[in-house]
Amino acid sequence: MESNLRNTKKIALSGVLGALAVVCLLLAVVLPTSKLAFYVLSSFFISVIVIEYNIKAGWLFYAATSLLSFIILPDKLGIVPYLIFFGLYGLVKFYIEKISKAVPEYMLKYVYFNLSLSIAYYLVREIFLENITVGIPWWAAVIGLEIVFAVYDYVYTLFIGYYRMKLKKVLGF
């Protein structure tokens, strides 16, 4: 009986958080502003699943939200940032932070970020046949994006800490 209750809670929490993640992605696609904020917010939900259950549940959550977003989002290209970077980052962060050594962790995080950035650039340039111009040298754009990534990683870490210390108790998980 207790096992059924635990499974029911797991399914309910995953469903609610999955719906919130998909709504964030929908808002990132349809709203003219705050796109990055909604992509960032959509990425936080997976960390709750990993904390509450395990990494396997996190992978299932990523797969389910990706598939559901693909079905629901009117602009299919809007799911690409989630598929390539934001949706996966909570899972990648989990594995990398198991190392527990700051320098290798940050090196691996930046390798992941730059790899994601390269894939996104390739998709836009080769598949969608669009040339990206930003008005500044490419290396300056990459450095600027890496600084933004450092802030994102820091905020993500703060969110995880806040969830563990405050939200988890308030929500009763």
Distance CA 64, CA 67 (A): 5
Tally of domains within the chain: 1
Domain at 98, CATH number: 1.10.1760.20
Looking at residue 134, what is its pLDDT?
Answer: 65
User: In this structure, are residues 69 and 79 in contact, taking their beta carbons and an 8 Å threshold?
Assistant: yes
Q: Mean pLDDT throughout 9-33?
A: 93
Q: How much is the CA Rg of the chain, to the nearest whole Å?
A: 17
Domain extent, residue 15, equals 2-171
Q: pLDDT tens across 23-82, in order?
A: 999 999 999 889 999 999 999 999 999 999 999 999 999 999 999 999 999 988 889 999
Distance CA 87, CA 166 (A): 24
The pair of structure tokens assigned to 86 is 């934001």
Q: Mean pLDDT throughout 9-13?
A: 87
Q: In whole numbers, what is the pLDDT of the chain averaged over residues?
A: 91
**pLDDT beyond 90 at 104:** yes
Q: Mean pLDDT throughout 82-109?
A: 95
Q: pLDDT tens across 140-153, in order?
A: 888 999 999 999 99
Looking at residue 25, what is its pLDDT?
Answer: 96
